[in-house]
Amino acid sequence: MSVTEANRHRELGLTDSEYERIRELLERDPNDLELAMFSLLWSEHCAYKHSRKLLRRLPTEGPRVTMGPGENAGAVALGSGQAVAFKVESHNHPSAVEPFQGAATGVGGILRDVFALGARPIAVLDSLRFGELDSERSRYLFDRVVAGIGHYGNSIGVPTVGGEVYFEAPYEHNCLVNAMCVGLARADDLIRSAAAGVGNSVVLLGASTGRDGIGGASVLASAELEAGDEKRPSVQIGDPFEEKKLMECCLELLDHGLLVALQDLGAAGLTSSAGEMAAKGGVGLDVDVDRVPLREADMEPFEVMISESQERMLAVVEPGRLDEVLAVCERWQTSAAAIGEVTDTRRIRVLEGDEVVGDVPVEALVDGCPLYDLEPAEPDGWMYTNGASLAEDGDAGAILFSLLGSPSIASKRWAFEQYDSIVQSRTVRRPETADAAVLKLESGGGIAVSIDGNGRRVACDPYRGTVEAVLECAANLACVGAEPLGLTNCLNFGNPEKPHVAWQLDRSTQGLADACRELGVPVVGGNVSLYNETDAGPIYPTPVIGMVGELPDPGRASRIAFAAGDLIALVGPFAPSLAGSELAKLRGDLGPGLPMLPIDLVQAAIELVREGVRAGKLRCAHDVSDGGLACALAECAIAGGVGVRADLDPMVELRGLSGETCLFGEGPGGFVVAGERAAIDDLAAAIGDAGALVIGEAGGERIELSAAEAELAVRLDDAERAWRSLDGRIR
């Protein structure tokens, strides 16, 4: 550490006041090792020092919650005696620096979070954001991120079952890579990460420790991103085959009851895992760096403690069972070493053989970081630049083709075909066949999972846009017949020290809290990723929502495909607007403001659709989202290989809309449903015109839509060609 005494803490990202706080807590100056440990655990990525107060708003309790925030992942109980564990995390800055390894190790990290609870990972989803596709950099990042996700997930044998990809100019210099994992366990067998049992052994499992990742996620994600390749060595290197052995080894150890506690080594490496395990257990830990298996010779103690080398776990083991643990590890060809002991000191002591080279109170290291109050200020107006790519005077057919071909709406087959979506043989609904992924359980029931967000709409109104993201997730689950059980989130924002970003974060968090309370969906965990910003400006404020639901019969889960002869209805209080829409973006006509529907009205429609799917009355269910009603109808037609004729004049009259707004406006609360005539007629009659309108039927080879002054009639194969155009733009 070649840093002068005067500014060594600044070089490590600590402020002068934070350094003085450390000196007060220690009652002395920290040495270089201790300062490195504090700098990482007091980083934004680990300490949440600008967001922790806001997160207290979120509802975290519910009758199904078995693991809430604070553990490696959250978990909710299923009716079959099983629990489903899930979490979403970001790997944004590492992926912007080195996209293949950044994305791959993001998948590896979220898998470890789930099997650290004792849950077997059964699915991965990803939420990705890049700049516009006319940028060579964005195409490169997209290509390599997708390759990294596919490489890790496919190699380890966990299916990638869903996700989303958006392309927007504000992500040009700071892409977003959020990964979500879902796992299954017996509810009674879930394990926590709290260290316990004075005298118990601390065992490091998995890959050996090297210099890769030093100053990685914890530092990269705690400051604005700078241009250049100098940060590339800070990105971790992943090995999915090593992780596969580690995962199976850990699950067997847990199955045999051989572990007291288990913790993933992620950001900040041993420092974070040891500190968090000790803090949760109210104990101390001694860690001897001389006992840590190293990949590189002559590593300094501080390097060992802060290395972010991948595929490692930290376990607490009773001394009498250590030999059994080591035997299981040997069978799985997984390295294991007892590197320390649990103590009653409530201190983290770092030893180098017999010499104490670091000694800090657990409470100071983990909970001593000051929490900051934001200073939010609403911006005077729209602060993002938007270029126009579509003229105002295009006819409705041309607009539909432009929207279907827009990279954020177009088919992402090029990406998801690189992922194995059916390994493990649980997948009932694959990508682009339904609004949510559906996985079957041994009990005969199933779970559904969705991940959603729209940063552009949140930028227009952080509160309402975040509410919409939560409703979108719940709507997607409803379309396959699933009832939400719990929610995880990843809050991706710019620099919170800037008033306008602080305002976005504050309003978005409140929107998330209010929507979850209204829907009765608890938040069981998540991640905050701040400082997603460069000299070119911040990203769109992007809360990403992951939601898991339960359904009794996965075989009845609806698809988005029309079938010839289907009667088609529009269900829900849908009141579209062009504000913040994809069409407004293409026209360069974005600005602040979104309309808002009462959440209870949307919730009623969600429940109605869910029950219709469960009863087997709705063969097709698809919520109206990006691109509006016209795109939703076109997607259903393309999926079914059959045309559609729809008269939307009653919708125009009922809502007082222009035809263009009716076709292409966006907002929550709208569902396209289809099925046999008797079922749809009964549905419309039961609800009434205010909540369900029969709008058309499926058949023929054309998409024909009429909405007051806006009409279109296009060939189905031409619409499909536009929707699948992304393949040619990437290859």
Q: Which of 91, 93, 151, 622 is catalytic?
A: 91
Token pair recorded at residue 9 = 């803490």
696 touches 647 (CB < 8 A): yes
Place of tokens 């009355």: 617
Active site (annotated) includes residue 50: no
Phi, psi of 129 (to 5 degrees): -135, 130
CB-based contact 719:671 (threshold 8 Å): no
208 close to 295: Cβ distance less than 8 angstroms? yes
Q: Which of 402, 455, 452 is nearest to 170 (CA)?
A: 455
- Token pair, residue 390, equals 């579509």
Tell me the backbone φ, ψ of residue 672, rounded to 5 degrees.
-90, 120
Pair type for strands 160-167 and 261-264: unpaired
Residue 622 annotated in active site: no
Interaxial angle between packed helices 240-255 and 136-156, expressed in degrees from 0 to 180 and rounded to the nearest 10 = 40
Largest Cα–Cα distance in the chain? 84
Instruction: Burial-class residue 131 by CB neighbours within 10 Å (0-12, 13-18, 19+).
Output: buried
569 Cβ neighbours under 8 A, 6+ residues apart: 672, 673, 674, 680, 683, 684, 692, 693, 694, 695
DSSP element (H, E) containing 726: helix 726-730
Cα 10 to the chain's mean position, in Å? Answer: 31
Q: How many residues does the chain have?
A: 731
Q: Which of 9, 45, 50, 151 is catalytic?
A: 45
Q: Is 646 helix (H, G, I), strand (E, B) or coil?
A: strand
Strands (E), 501-660: 523-529, 533-534, 537-538, 542-551, 567-571, 620-623, 644-647
Cα-only R_g, the chain: 26
Residue 28 burial class via C-beta count within 10 angstroms: exposed 0-12, middle 13-18, buried 19 and up: exposed
Q: Which helix (H) or strand (E) holds 82?
A: strand 82-90
Closest CA to 91 of 43, 64, 129, 63: 129
Of 67, 59, 58, 108, residue with least CA distance to 86: 67
Q: How far is CA 503 from the centre of its chain?
A: 22
Which residues form the catalytic set?
A: 45, 91
